[in-house]
Structure 1
Amino acid sequence: MKTISTLALVFFVAFSMTAKISKTEKEALLKLYSTTNGANWTNKWDLKQDVTSWYGIKIKNDRVIEINLSDNNLVGEIPASITDLTNLAKLNLFKNQLSGVIPFEIGNLTNLRLLNLSFNQLKGKIPFSVGNLKNLHSLELFMNNLSGKLPAEIGNLKKLTTLSLHSNTFEGKIPKSIYNLKSLKTLLLNSNNFSGSLDKAIGGMSSLEHLSLFDNSFYGNIPFELEKLTALKEMNISYNNFDGFVSEKMVKLDTLKMTMVNTRGLAFALPVESKSATETTKSALASED
């Protein structure tokens, strides 16, 4: 009887360690492996073993819910078929050598909570289909070769807390829809080619804790509405083309003390508005609330 019980236990454990994912999902994983040179990954998959043993793959209820292959020497393009993994909650391909574009089909992964494709060699625009990822909390695409204007559809991501797009070549204005992301805590757009003025609506992003617009081509006055961001812990909006006066409070908060670049490429510090003028401005802001 004891032997039978032991065998039953072994069978149960062996069964629980296997996953019966669908043929479509397994083919999607195999496609990712082949198109990103899986044979030379740092942590390879043994394709003869069950999917549960594959590095960086997490499965729940026979569905692939997480791929974490960061810093794993993936070389090649992200296949569109990865979006057949419709139950994915996390897709982390940080710090590899991925090239090509972000697949337009990425918008099919509507269960995604985290998307991190940073520190690769991706090019092209962010597809507007990203606006379909309504459950996304973190979108990190920094340190790539991405370009073009930001799609206004990013403003559909109401649960977003982190938007990190720094160190690319994005251009144009910040879409007004982004100012409506009330849950956003981290907004990092530094080291791009953004331009235009900073909308006063930024004062309504009450959850912001980290704001970096450093090293772009923003111009115009810096809105005093920034002082409404009471949760702000860190800000760097220097090395832009902003002009006019700033308050002493904003100068202290900015990492580089509001150092801007003039039309000749020379650095200068914005003048601090007098206390009386600042109080007048604050009064005017209060009356608008």
Structure 2
Amino acid sequence: MSNKITLLIFTIFFSFSVFANFSKAEKEVLIKLNQATNGAKWTNKWDISLPMDKWYGIKIVDDKVVSINLKNNNLTGRIPVEITTLLNLQELNLGTNLLNGEIPLNIGNLKALQVLDLSFNRLTGFIPNSICSLPNLQTLLLDRNILSGELPQQIGKLSMLENLSLYENSFQGSLPLSFYELKSLKLLSLYTNRFTGKLSPSIGNLVLLENLNLFDNDFKGQVPIELEKLTHLKKLNISYNLFSGLVSNKLSLLDKLNMTMRNEIGNVVSLPINKG
């Protein structure tokens, strides 16, 4: 009996010890974030003498950090790589700040992540391939940064993604084939980048799409008639690209600028409408 009691006490002590260490480790990561982004100048500052669940923008569940929302809080500096060790994180919102540097390469470690908002910052570099390893990601907002490069080839693995917003960056290249496997997408905003290539007829696979904005890129070729299959589509803007050829009256009326394009020498033209 005494051995069983001793074992029980040891098990309870060990559990509390691991629990405490885990909590301490997450606290150290948050302090690192605070230091790396000039926490003394934040709009809403942290008093680290208080429990973590009292810190502005931090949500704790079962002593685990599940949400960091420091949007519009005057963060400067770089995103510390240590943030990718918060394995229970479901939301990371650092949008509308003054962050620079690159997106951490191992951002894909955050398997529980559902919302990633790094928009309206000064981030540079490219989208890490590891971001395609986030099976629960529903919202990815990277708009209004200084990001460049091509989209990851395996972006189609983000099967839960509903909102993809990358506008006003310097992304380039054609959309990967896997892109057309994002069948949960409802909002797609890629405007004012340098995307090229043809828009695949497979765009018709994105059956839940409600808002499609490709304005001001260099997409070319025929406007896919398959866009008409998107019965949920309420907003469309694919103007100021290099698309050519006839378009249907239905798509022309849906497009915000009525299919106004640029030709190869930069002149503004309107695509002919097939009214048949």
Q: Answer whether contact 1:107 1:132 (CA < 8 A) is retained.
A: yes
Alignment pair present for 1:132 and 2:133 = yes
Q: Which residue of 1 aligns with 2:194?
A: 193
- Equivalent position of 2:142 in the other structure: 141
Aligned residue type for 2:68: I
TM-score between the two structures when normalised by the length of structure 2: 0.91
Structure 2 counterpart SS, 1:33: helix
The alpha-carbon deviation at position 186 of structure 1 amounts to 0.6
Conserved 8 A contact 1:129-1:153: no
CA offsets 1:56-84 (integer angstroms, 9 cap, x no match): 00000000000000000000000000011
1:216 maps to amino acid? N
Code of the residue aligned with 2:258 in structure 1: it is K
What is residue 62 of structure 1 aligned with on the other side?
A: 63
Map 1:108-119 → 2, pairs under 5 A: 108-119=109-120
For residues 214-253 of structure 1, the aligned pairs below 5 Å read: 214-253=215-254
Quote the Cα distance in structure 2 between the aligned partners of 1:153 and 1:162: 17
Shift of 1:47: 1.4
Give the residue type in structure 2 aligned to 1:123. Answer: T
Q: Secondary structure at the match of 2:35?
A: helix
Distance in 2, Cα, partners of 1:274 & 1:62: 62
Is the CA contact 1:196–1:219 (under 8 Å) kept in the aligned structure 2?
yes
Deviations 1:33-62 (A, max 9, x none): 000000000000011111111000000000
Code of the aligned partner of 2:29: A
The correspondence of residues 274-289 of structure 1 with structure 2, limited to 5 A, is 274-275=275-276
- Structure 1: which amino acid aligns with 2:101? G
How far 1:263 moved relative to its partner? 2.0
Look up the match of 1:32: 33
CA contact (8 A) 1:115 1:139 kept: yes
- Report the Cα offset of residue 28 of structure 1: 0.6
Q: Does 1:101 align with 2:88?
A: no
In structure 2, list runs of 5 or more residues that go unmatched: 1-18
Report if aligned partners of 1:171, 1:194 keep a CA contact under 8 Å in 2.
yes
Aligned to 1:166: 167
AA paired with 2:251? M
Identity of aligned residues (%): 54
Question: Deviation of residue 265 (structure 1)?
Answer: 1.4
Q: Deviations over 1:239-286 (max 9, x none)?
A: 0000000000000000000000112211111000140xxxxxxxxxxx
Distance 1:141 1:74 in 2: 16
Q: What SS does the corresponding residue of 1:32 show, helix, strand or coil?
A: helix
1:270 aligns to 2:249 (yes or no): no
1:101-133 Cα deviation digits (max 9, x unpaired): 000111000000000000000000100000110
1:176 shift after superposition:
1.2
Distance 2:85 2:28 in 1: 9
**1:154 has 2:161 as partner:** no
SS in 1 for 2:43: coil
Query: In structure 1, the residue corresponding to 2:266 is in which secondary structure?
Result: coil
C-alpha contact 1:76 1:97 (8 A) present in aligned 2 = yes
Q: Give 2:41's aligned amino acid.
A: N
Q: Secondary structure at the match of 1:220?
A: strand
Runs (4+) of structure 1 exceeding 2 A deviation are none
CA deviations over 1:156-182 (Å, ceiling 9, x no partner)? 010110111111000000111111111
